[in-house]
């Protein structure tokens, strides 16, 4: 079991560029989510998915798109990168959306937007 994997680990973008952060899990988890982590602000939920074909917005969804075509994959797209999107991005998954299900986090993607 690889758990939750994320690629790339590091990325530098110029303002206005677009890119996709990849996330995959091999635990057959229904629930997947994306967070960003900024100093002094904690983790903030961007988007989440309760199953293939179903996505919803979290606390800070603007500037990001997601899709869930398979159970395993949950990519996060930055449409037009801005310096305010410089952050560490974590993908997480859990068996179901049940609140007490343990969330497993990927290793993170460190994104810098110049």
Partner 1 sequence: GQNIDQPTEMTATEGAIVQINCTYQTSGFNGLFWYQQHAGEAPTFLSYNVLDGLEEKGRFSSFLSRSKGYSYLLLKELQMKDSASYLCAVNGGDMRFGAGTRLTVKP
**Least distance between partner 1 and beta carbon 73 (Å):** 18
Indicate which single residue of 13, 32, 106, 111 sits in contact with partner 1 (rule: CB under 8 A): 106
Indicate which single residue of 55, 108, 111, 113 sits in contact with partner 1 (rule: CB under 8 A): 108
Integer Cα distance of 6 and 101 in angstroms = 21
Integer Cα distance of 86 and 111 in angstroms = 5
**Least distance between partner 1 and beta carbon 18 (Å):** 25
Closest of 57, 63, 58 to residue 86, by C-alpha = 63
Q: Which of residues 18-77 bind partner 1 (CB under 8 A)?
A: 33, 35, 40-45, 48, 58-59
Region of residue 63 (phi > 0: left; psi between -120 and 50: alpha; otherwise: beta): left
Interacting residues toward partner 1 by CB under 8 A: 33, 35, 40-45, 48, 58-59, 90, 99-100, 102-108
């Amino acid at each position: 079991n690889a758990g939750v994997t994320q690629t790339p680990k590091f990325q530098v973008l110029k303002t206005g560029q677009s890119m996709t952060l990849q996330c995959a899990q091999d635990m057959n988890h229904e629930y997947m989510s994306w967070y960003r982590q900024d100093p002094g602000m904690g983790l903030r939920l961007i988007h989440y998915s309760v199953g293939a074909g179903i996505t919803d917005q979290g606390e800070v969804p603007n500037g990001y798109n997601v899709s869930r075509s398979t159970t395993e994959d949950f990519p996060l797209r930055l449409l037009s990168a801005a310096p305010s999107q410089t952050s560490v991005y974590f993908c997480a998954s859990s068996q179901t959306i049940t609140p007490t299900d343990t969330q497993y986090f990927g290793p993170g993607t460190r994104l810098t937007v110049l």
